[in-house]
Amino acid sequence: MKSTARSGRFSSEISDLMEDFNSSVHFDQRLYRYDITLNIAYAKALAGAGVLKRTEASHIIAALKKIEKEIEEGKLKFRKENEDVHLNIEAFLTQKVGEAGKKIHTGRSRNDQVATDLRMWAKDEIMSVRELIKKLQKTLVTLAERDLGLIMPGYTHLQKAQPVLFSHHLMAYFEMLKRDAERLLECHKRTDVMPLGSAALAGTSFSIDRKKLARDLGFSSVSDNSMDAVSDRDFVIEVLACLSILMMHLSRLADETVLWASSEFKFIDLPDSFATGSSIMPQKKNPDAAELTRGKTGRVFGSLIAVLTVMKGLPLAYNRDMQEDKERLFDAVDTAKACLKIMDGLLAGIKVHAGNMQTAAEKGCLTATDLADYLVKKGLPFRKAHEVTGSIVRHCVDNRIDLYQMSKKDLKKFSDVIGEGIHDHLTVENSVSSRDGIGGTSRRQVAGAIRAAKLELKGRK
């Protein structure tokens, strides 16, 4: 069967090699529902423009609904000789309604048709990803509320730094994911622009009511420049950029999950249902869910770079290079959604070892900053307080003790301003509670952050 895209112009059939190379229906067929929705709305627009008779439009719409049902039931098969999902559906339509089906492409091009379908798909997927982000955020908030008060070491450079609440650590990821959801919503606004009616590049000569067509297809606005509308894919790039940042955050969370589950940390146990074993070592319980999430991040990054590279040197307007956008976008969305689901399930089932976290926080002189702050409040300049505290820490390291284990007498050898109540400043509990400014790790501040997060999630659309 000769493709309708070649009819009339060509004197020979397309080669089998070129047909395979050119075809995209094996991956863009997932757009069929959107293409059918577009065709239904466009049939109405053509009827409004006088291109189709009302009876023809009615027959076309009924046939398109039947085609959708038959595709879902597996009764209709896409053919690679029709290149893509759009020409396949047009062929199905013509088979069902005859000559009237050949009118459906009047006044449009696959250029604006493809761009419109892809924007419709992307809008839905953006909101789907946002829902999965929200679900993961709820899990983080649930864990943070459940374990409020549990102290762990906070790290910089992967070295113990200061004691923090485990809940505070979890809520840091809540904030990252919140920004990811906001970025996607902003991206949705720029994706919510209808290209249909731009035709190949110059617009259409038929009196299509584009604003009504946009409303019928659920778009907020129509494109203002026909060449821009069909030839840019910045909305695809923006989705990929948003997903890349999201995956970067998920990768960091996954990496910490791997660390916390290790025997060296032993802060958490992973749920058996989200861990794997070894083919040779029976004792192993591997954090493969987290590791795969960390690994798949590069896959999404690669999709972003691939589409940027495709677009960077293209003259206006449409070029077939742009067919490469869909596989990358489809794969990135699928990957991000899978990783959100897997991390949500993994974290929801973890068992937290509170004692191990507390013990780890009490070792390593983590309240050294509190000692320095104490000295400052006693009148020492901070740099001097820092020097004195450093000397005390070196003494602790040399003698294999911690700050809170030193007597007041021994502490006073390093500075005579040290007096009564010094040990109150050296406990991890007091260290945490003293960080009571907005955004700090005190129980009061973290509890407030959890309350605010629950309200935010409840009100988010």
Reported as a single tens digit per residue, the pLDDT across 86-141 is 999 999 999 999 999 999 999 999 999 999 999 999 999 999 999 999 999 999 99
- Distance set, CA 298 to CA 114, 181, 290, 304 (Å): 27, 20, 14, 10
* pLDDT at res. 419: 92
Reported as a single tens digit per residue, the pLDDT across 445-454 is 999 999 999 9
Section 321-333 average pLDDT: 96
pLDDT, greater one: 394 or 14:
394
Show the tokens assigned to 39.
Answer: 């065709």
Residue 233 has pLDDT above 60, yes or no: yes
**Whether residue 330 is found in the same domain as residue 199:** yes
**Whether residue 191 is found in the same domain as residue 236:** yes
Reported as a single tens digit per residue, the pLDDT across 235-247 is 999 999 999 999 9
Tell me the torsion sign for CA atoms 251, 257, 259, 261: negative
Domain with 300 in it: 111-147+164-352
Distance CA 240, CA 242 (A): 5
**Whether residue 192 is found in the same domain as residue 263:** yes
pLDDT, greater one: 142 or 14:
142
**Whether residue 101 is found in the same domain as residue 116:** no
Reported as a single tens digit per residue, the pLDDT across 3-22 is 556 566 676 777 888 888 88
**Whether residue 365 is found in the same domain as residue 346:** no
Number of domains in the chain: 3
**Whether residue 185 is found in the same domain as residue 252:** yes
**Whether residue 88 is found in the same domain as residue 198:** no
Q: What is the CATH number of the domain that holds 392?
A: 1.10.40.30
Give catalytic residue positions: 157, 278
**Whether residue 292 is found in the same domain as residue 317:** yes
* pLDDT at res. 1: 45
- pLDDT band at residue 164 using 50, 70 and 90 as cut-offs: very high
- Cis peptide leading into 214, omega within 30 of 0? no
Boundary of a domain, candidates 352, 385, 402: 352
- Distance set, CA 437 to CA 126, 165, 445 (Å): 35, 14, 7
Boundary of a domain, candidates 352, 386, 415: 352
pLDDT, greater one: 17 or 341:
341
